[in-house]
Structure 1
Amino acid sequence: MGKKKKDKTHKPRVIKTRSSSKGGDVIHDIESIDIDGLYQHWFLDYASYVILERAVPRIEDGLKPVQRRIAHAIKEMDDGRFNKVANVIGQTMQYHPHGDAAIGEAMVNIGQKDLLLETQGNWGDVRTGDSAAAPRYIEARLSKFALDVVYNPQTTEWQLSYDGRKKEPVTLPVKFPLLLAQGVEGIAVGLSTKILPHNFCELIKASIDVLKGKSVKIFPDFPGGGYADFTEYDQGIRGGRIKVRAKIEIQDKKALVIKEIPYGVTTTSLIESIVKASEKGKIKVKQVVDNTAKDVEILVHLQPGHAPEIVMDALYAFTDCEVSISPNACVIVEDKPRFMKVNEILKYNTEQTVKLLKRELEIRRDELMEKILFSSLEKIFIEKRIYRNIEECETFEDVISTIDKGLKPYKKQFYREITRDDILRLTEIRIKRISRYDSFKADELLKNLEEELKQTKHHLKHLTEYAIAYYQNLLDKYGKGRERKTEIKGFQTVTATEVIANNQKLYVNRADGFIGWGLRRDEFIAECSEIDDIIAIRRDGKAIVSRIAEKVFMGKDILYTGVWKKGDDRMVFNLIYSDGKTGKSFVKRFTVPAIIRDKEYDLTQGNPNSRVHYLSANPNGEAEVVNVKLTAASTARKKIFEFDFSELEIKGRGARGNTLTKYPIRKVELLQSGVSTLSGLDLWFDPASGRLNKDKRGKHVGKFDGDDLILSITKSGNYKLTGFELNTRFDGEDKTLLVEKFNPKKVITAVYWDGESKQHFVKRFQIETNTVDKDFGFIAEGIGSRLEFVSTSDSPEVMVEMVKGKSKTKETETINLEEVVDVKGWKAMGNKLSPHKVVKLKPVEESGGGGEDEPQEDASESKGVKSSRSQTQKKKSENPEPQNEQPQKESPQKSEPSPQNEQSQNQGPKQSKSQNPSQDQSQKAAQASLFEDSQPQKESQKEEVKPKSNKKSTEGMAFGIGDTIELEL
């Protein structure tokens, strides 16, 4: 404030200084430069120089300046033999004056791409991070691919080098998307670029698709292999992200083996990250052994008692076995940096390739036309003996004039005028050539040249087809051995809290209200990890969730504390509390699937002096029976009564609950432990990730409970029984044919190709083994044997295309496999599918039915009341009554003690049967939709719907015999 604004347009001041010398004083004029000028001009010039001349590649050839100069220098030296890298570096310094170290590092980087250079010697290893040997010890030469694709002096634009002594290319005429094939990274001033390498063959195929007008999708392919999830790749632009994982396999129950590593990660850094995570207690690893040689192999030995599947997920969550990469495609277009999508870069390179091919064809066309012209001139000059007319010419000008006069009758047949230079070339023909001139060979040469010219003109007219053929030739010539190495998969998110090893112990001081791993003198609760959330429920009915630490205050008088899992809707809390305002006691069952950390929640009605009398935490929704004792001073006639929590619905934590009694409670005791009241756990199989989930991704597998198992069958002809834990891993959709709930009574029908007999066989069998987590092969073990079809349906059909007779006519026939072979043992070979040669096999889609449990249960619901309803009604009815032909009406019940009457008045658990079956059914459906079934699923599956009968209904049924709701519609 108050200061004058500095004028930036003022002229520099001139300062005069004196210095003494032998000859006297010398006056120097020094121009003072404003510091603002340095930032306004010099820094911008420097930033522009770094962007254009050092860090960012040009889109035309996909090369940085140093890479382009290396390519030019080694081409000048190329004689087909290997050259010392030190010599190439020296040659490159004539064009790139930035030191031999930068050139050497760039050349090693090009050599490790294995595309433009053939290398000899120790060039390092990108997998292990080993550096290359010194330039004087390693050699290189241009690959055949580089000679075919990168160079053409006739179509290259040239410029003077930095010192003006030599010429260097502005860009190389690359006829291939080299930038996307090699990938590039560079950090400039104010921006950076990161383009990931793509697959050689896929780029060529995508370029062909671009020429055909098709839409294309290309994804990176890394030399180290591994798995990659490109869900958020977004064509490589800023803001995109990809996840890359190592390829980990279970060697046995005691060890994992890492066979491929993520891009940008070395075996050394990967092992260091595993050791670091183990030291922090996040994973339990006994030993890590690096056996990497030709192929990557890192053995991870596990500590006893730790499942390899969980440790595998923990490696992805806490080590460099999974890394995220953020691409940022930036290139130089028309001397300016530009952010582009990889599809746009591919399209630009493809169009440029077409332009270069067109330019090459035009040059070749002109060359051929000139050759045809001169060959024709030569033929006329010799055969018409025009050379004899120059014998008497005295001057050279007379010679030129004579030849021109002799050619005059033939000039009209040429595509252009005959020039003096053309005549001069004729004068240079030697007598020896004239004397040995062969007219037949000359005609053959002209014919070949004209054929080639005709073909060249055809290519110019059909340029797109020519470019497609060019790309196809590249693919056929150089594509072998360049198949995709990185497997594209959709990753299922690994939740750190689910896979981290239990590296801490949870203690609690209930009276003082502290929890944490540092309270070693207090009560031990459970093992946990350092990132777990802990829930605490206090005597005053408050609940709070907080992140575990060494010591955390949760509130005094803690009744329950334990590890809290977000989204866990199977952990059910059973609670009895008294309201501080009314004095009534309430009972409720609730879950806590979501909560805000460090915020207190009321499990009661929030009134002061509310108090919890009973609390239990049930990991699988168990419901116990308790004994409720009232105070001796209460006026209730029955001071002790039982209560069964299974008669309550499961609601949210904010629900008030049902009234248990209006009298004061003295004590609540556990009378009988309960069983789960939740229905089976619905699971889905996601083929992309090969994992089970509860999020309805993929195919529904079924409902699981207790000792249920999952059956999986792979294309290799193996079946395996596994548990239904969410961390169970299966092979992806490219290897796994079937994943479903195991039913030992189901018959498996399989069609397989026997590699030894070269025929298709069909077999039907039942699973007879009981071993879990072990593969059993049920097809022939010959080389090339493979499973082509498998089904567990009752009557599977396949559509078979076969070749019949000597005429080899193709016929299609639908075969019911149930009629081909009987059910045999799982080791049996089976019967031939057909006596004819099978060309194609296609399953016939089933019109209905299915092998899963859930659709069967849904079907029973659509036909009538679920069978589990009758079980629920039977359990609730203490005094079952006979059924009549008409819908049952409520019969008078015996009087109950006051607490029980209060329950019925407040819609308590012990309610009379509904008078309206349809109303009861709708209430039941609403309950099932919110809280699933209130009875175990297994019990409901055992119940059967019996057909109509004139007899009285059995005891405990909730519907009359006359009700058609239970019968087939």
Structure 2
Amino acid sequence: MANDTYTNPGEHIDQTSFSDALSERYLAYALSTITSRSLPDVRDGLKPVHRRLLFAMRQLKLDPGQGFKKSARVVGDVMGKFHPHGDAAIYDAMVRLAQEFAMRYRLVDGQGNFGNIDGDNAAAMRYTEARMTEVARLLLDGIDEDSVDFRPTYDGESEEPVLLPAGFPNLLANGAQGIAVGMATSIPPHNVIELADASLHLIKHPNASIDTLMQYVKGPDFPTGGLLVEPADSIRDAYATGRGGFRVRARWEIEKEKGGGWQIVVTEIPYQVQKSRLIERLAEMLNAKKLPVLADIRDESAEDLRIVLEPKSRRLEPEIVMESLFKLSDLETRVPLNLNVLDATGRPGVMDLRGALNAWLAHRQVVLQRRAHFRLGKIAHRLEVLEGYLIVYLNLDEVIAIIRESEHPRDALIARFDLTETQANAILDMRLRSLRRLEEMALRTERDNLVAEQADLQNLLANEDLQWKKIATEIKDMKDSFAKHDRRRTTLADAPEIDFDPTEILVEREPITIICSAKGWIRAMKGHQELDSEFKFKEGDGPGLVLHAETTDKILLFADNGRFYTLAGDRLPRGRGFGEPVSLLTDLPADIEIITLLRGVAGKMLVAASTGHGLIVDMQSAIAQTRSGKQILNLPGDARAVACCMVDGDMVASVGVNRKLLAFPISELPEMTRGRGVILQRFKDGGLADVTVYHSDKGLSWQAGGGRTRTETDMSNWIAKRAGAGKLPPTGFPRPAKFT
């Protein structure tokens, strides 16, 4: 039988697209994450879970001077009353508030194992105990005086504070980290004394510049200390925009040993770096031979941090050893700054340093005003009661008679003496012992004191200057309480600019003679051999290039494709064999010829192509870091590089295949890092054969054969402007045309 009350469920279904439903729900989740989980409030610097932890501890009377209670008790109260999340997440948040290496100013005083800088976890909540610190008391001070708004808890059974009165600049003093949906926050901790000084200055000058505030706030102050090596300009930009970062290094010192040895001892590591993970990573790199400067790493930490680093050789400079480690490990890290917080209206946004401090000061003014109004209400109520008490003393016999004889004494008292209901109730609740004469005098004194306090509070609320003076006094008192024992832990320093290759600093400096055959086989012989000595070569091969150098040198090979290839002097094949092909040590193509070998020292070079083009290049910019070399001279078509020489003089001499010689000032050539260059000499046929640089006062020299050198001191016949055709050289100039 059909049921007449049946209705079709489909009639109550709202039709909507899946994308709209998904975006609506994801937006709600994102907003909840941003406002209720990840971003701190700019006024008290706390996230909801931290705020609820402190409020629950206050309800449990875990004040700094009281005894400890089990952490499980605190976590249970927070989870049951305020925070509808898991106990593990709540306890983890509580543990961090108690860790002195995580918090610059701890909010929870922990007893038991709350973890360590090695990264070990805290003991279970049933084993640890906690209470609030003095900093937490400052954050909560005045919360019972209507200083902040309250809202219903998630189950509606009680209320929780929307934020705390915050008598401590917690946002910047302790910092915050959080990742929300589409945004994140990262605020490093700072020194509260510096923040107090900056706040006092802002009270007088609310629009003070960032440069002025940085005279007080020097930079972050991490609980683990370390060295802040970020440049001052970068720190200023970070504070001015609310975004940036800070380079932080470990603090280290040198310990001398007997016999002239030494070792490095690291006493402080960067913020949020786990010591055990740092040492583990260093050990892995040492075993993989990626730390050529170290021989051993030891962790000798007890209560104080102590990491011992033994250098591989006492010849090393400690600064170079540490610079190498800073580049390769977490002994140097970058701490980001993203001052993304919720403002007084609950909206997320990035603030600068001044904005964050002014927001805290504005909150302190609101708290001061609300506490003053609350106190005025209490005073008004007490004065009303006192006036009723004084009426009793003036009409004591009549009041007693009314109370004894009247059926409704309260109404009778109100009618007879024109009392308020509050006064009548207070009189009826009065104890007999209060009817003494001395008590009457005390009441009159109390009334006079309350009237005076009432006038002061009304004057305070009417005068903004008095309000800021009161706030400044509170900040000074807070600063004085920390000034006795607090000091800056992170030192500001400059990072030394040391240019080095950590893989080369252990190379023993020795003289070598580098021999490159005509077919490109290269080797290094110990010591400086005579350059015209007869060296052995493979059958079918012969002499090529010979160079005196040292094992610590970079050796530049200039090839006819216009590229420079770089070899390390200590890595060239040794011995009296034939060496190895250059193509095995670099990516030199088989059809490319080597034009010259040079030591990679400070100086400039002149390179030239067969087309007659050339340029000047700094030798250091030609050093390549890869096997493929570095292209310096751009070559069109079938052109080839033909010459490379050091710039040691004020004149350039070029000679073509047609034996035409041209000389011109070197100032007419540009210095470039790469390019085709400019025309040195023009040719109708042939092309450029060689180029050199000479001093005009010494003349031009060339090899005349038989080991003889000829010098032409009067070059006036061949000096012309760059890009000329040149003239035939002096009699006896070599064939083919070459200067060396």
Above 0.5 in TM-score? yes
Deviation at 1:83, TM superposition (A): 0.9
2:369 to 358, 369, 391: 358
2:323 to 298, 306, 313: 313
Deviation at 1:137, TM superposition (A): 1.4
Matched AA of 1:262 = P
CA contact (8 A) 2:645 2:693 kept: no
Matched AA of 2:262 = K
Q: Within 1, Cα distance between the matches of 2:51 and 2:671?
A: 67
Deviation at 1:158, TM superposition (A): 1.7
Other-structure match for 1:754: none
Other-structure match for 1:103: 90
Return the structure number with greater helix share.
2
1:537 to 540, 555, 558: 558
Structure 1 segment 812-823 matched on structure 2, within 5 A: none
Superposed CA RMSD in Å reads: 4.6
Q: Within 2, Cα distance between the matches of 1:496 and 1:86?
A: 54
1:67 to 39, 50, 54: 50
Other-structure match for 1:323: 333
Q: Percent identity?
A: 24
Matched AA of 2:181 = V
Deviation at 1:195, TM superposition (A): 1.1
**Residue 181 (str. 1) matches residue 173 (str. 2):** yes
Structure 1 segment 249-398 matched on structure 2, within 5 A: 249-252=253-256, 254-278=262-286, 279-304=288-313, 305-333=315-343, 334-385=345-396, 387-388=399-400, 390=402, 394-396=406-408
Structure 1 segment 584-733 matched on structure 2, within 5 A: 591-595=618-622, 598-602=629-633, 611-612=642-643, 652=671, 658=693, 665-666=703-704
Q: Within 1, Cα distance between the matches of 2:86 and 2:329?
A: 38
CA contact (8 A) 1:579 1:604 kept: yes
Deviation at 1:387, TM superposition (A): 1.5
Q: Judging changes above 3 Å, is the alpha-carbon distance between structure 1 residues 650 and 344 closer, same or farther for their aligned structure 2 residues?
A: same
Q: Judging changes above 3 Å, is the alpha-carbon distance between structure 1 residues 611 and 96 closer, same or farther for their aligned structure 2 residues?
A: closer
**Residue 427 (str. 1) matches residue 428 (str. 2):** yes
**Residue 902 (str. 1) matches residue 709 (str. 2):** no
Other-structure match for 1:131: 121
Q: Within 2, Cα distance between the matches of 1:181 and 1:361?
A: 27
Q: Within 2, Cα distance between the matches of 1:185 and 1:241?
A: 14
Q: Within 1, Cα distance between the matches of 2:284 and 2:599?
A: 25
Counterpart secondary structure, 1:351: helix
Q: Within 2, Cα distance between the matches of 1:516 and 1:363?
A: 91
Matched AA of 1:383 = L
CA contact (8 A) 1:195 1:236 kept: no
Matched AA of 1:379 = L
Deviation at 1:384, TM superposition (A): 3.8
CA contact (8 A) 2:633 2:641 kept: no
Q: Judging changes above 3 Å, is the alpha-carbon distance between structure 1 residues 599 and 300 closer, same or farther for their aligned structure 2 residues?
A: closer
Other-structure match for 1:466: 470
Q: Judging changes above 3 Å, is the alpha-carbon distance between structure 1 residues 352 and 603 closer, same or farther for their aligned structure 2 residues?
A: closer
Other-structure match for 2:201: 209
Structure 1 segment 841-920 matched on structure 2, within 5 A: 899-902=712-715, 906=719
CA contact (8 A) 1:361 1:456 kept: yes
Other-structure match for 2:576: none
CA contact (8 A) 1:277 1:319 kept: no
Q: Within 1, Cα distance between the matches of 2:444 and 2:363?
A: 38
Unaligned runs of 5+ in 1: 1-25, 408-417, 637-646, 672-896, 909-969
Deviation at 1:190, TM superposition (A): 1.7
Q: Judging changes above 3 Å, is the alpha-carbon distance between structure 1 residues 443 and 111 closer, same or farther for their aligned structure 2 residues?
A: same
Deviation at 1:302, TM superposition (A): 0.4
Deviation at 1:39, TM superposition (A): 2.2
CA contact (8 A) 2:406 2:412 kept: no
Q: Judging changes above 3 Å, is the alpha-carbon distance between structure 1 residues 57 and 604 closer, same or farther for their aligned structure 2 residues?
A: closer
Deviation at 1:177, TM superposition (A): 1.7
2:113 to 115, 119, 122: 122
CA contact (8 A) 2:623 2:630 kept: yes
Unaligned runs of 5+ in 2: 1-6, 525-536, 539-545, 569-582, 681-691, 722-740
**Residue 144 (str. 1) matches residue 137 (str. 2):** no
Other-structure match for 1:689: none
Q: Judging changes above 3 Å, is the alpha-carbon distance between structure 1 residues 541 and 658 closer, same or farther for their aligned structure 2 residues?
A: farther
Deviation at 1:104, TM superposition (A): 0.8
CA contact (8 A) 1:181 1:199 kept: yes
Q: Judging changes above 3 Å, is the alpha-carbon distance between structure 1 residues 581 and 28 closer, same or farther for their aligned structure 2 residues?
A: closer
CA contact (8 A) 2:562 2:640 kept: no
Matched AA of 1:906 = I
Deviation at 1:353, TM superposition (A): 0.8
Counterpart secondary structure, 2:244: coil
Counterpart secondary structure, 2:488: coil
Other-structure match for 1:571: 603
Q: Judging changes above 3 Å, is the alpha-carbon distance between structure 1 residues 45 and 73 closer, same or farther for their aligned structure 2 residues?
A: same
1:42 to 21, 25, 29: 25
Counterpart secondary structure, 1:244: strand
Other-structure match for 1:406: 417
Normalised TM-score (structure 2)? 0.71
CA contact (8 A) 2:114 2:123 kept: yes
Deviations 1:489-544 (A, max 9, x none): 23345546478646899999665559999xxx99998667xxx9873224x59452
Q: Within 2, Cα distance between the matches of 1:426 and 1:669?
A: 129
Deviations 1:70-129 (A, max 9, x none): 11211111252101111111111112121111011000011112432222112122x322
Matched AA of 1:249 = E
Q: Judging changes above 3 Å, is the alpha-carbon distance between structure 1 residues 361 and 498 closer, same or farther for their aligned structure 2 residues?
A: same
Normalised TM-score (structure 1)? 0.55
Deviation at 1:175, TM superposition (A): 2.4
Q: Within 1, Cα distance between the matches of 2:669 and 2:138?
A: 73
Deviations 1:590-620 (A, max 9, x none): 74343596554459999968755x9579xxx
Deviation at 1:242, TM superposition (A): 1.4
Counterpart secondary structure, 2:162: strand
Matched AA of 1:129 = G
CA contact (8 A) 1:176 1:350 kept: no
Counterpart secondary structure, 2:137: helix
Deviation at 1:668, TM superposition (A): 9.7
Q: Judging changes above 3 Å, is the alpha-carbon distance between structure 1 residues 373 and 652 closer, same or farther for their aligned structure 2 residues?
A: same
Q: Judging changes above 3 Å, is the alpha-carbon distance between structure 1 residues 510 and 199 closer, same or farther for their aligned structure 2 residues?
A: farther
1:162 to 154, 179, 189: 154
Counterpart secondary structure, 2:297: strand
Counterpart secondary structure, 1:536: strand
Deviation at 1:272, TM superposition (A): 3.1
Deviates more, 1:109-118 or 1:500-509: 500-509
CA contact (8 A) 1:604 1:610 kept: yes
Return the structure number with greater strand share.
1
Q: Within 2, Cα distance between the matches of 1:33 and 1:235?
A: 46
Q: How many residues align?
A: 606
Deviations 1:268-319 (A, max 9, x none): 2322343344334344201111122222211110012322221121112222
Counterpart secondary structure, 1:155: coil
Counterpart secondary structure, 2:715: helix
Matched AA of 1:66 = V
Other-structure match for 2:594: 558
Deviations 1:215-269 (A, max 9, x none): 4233211011111134324118565121111112222453111111111212223
Matched AA of 1:387 = V
Deviation at 1:669, TM superposition (A): 6.5
Q: Within 2, Cα distance between the matches of 1:89 and 1:454?
A: 44
CA contact (8 A) 1:174 1:353 kept: yes
Q: Judging changes above 3 Å, is the alpha-carbon distance between structure 1 residues 590 and 348 closer, same or farther for their aligned structure 2 residues?
A: closer
Other-structure match for 2:532: none
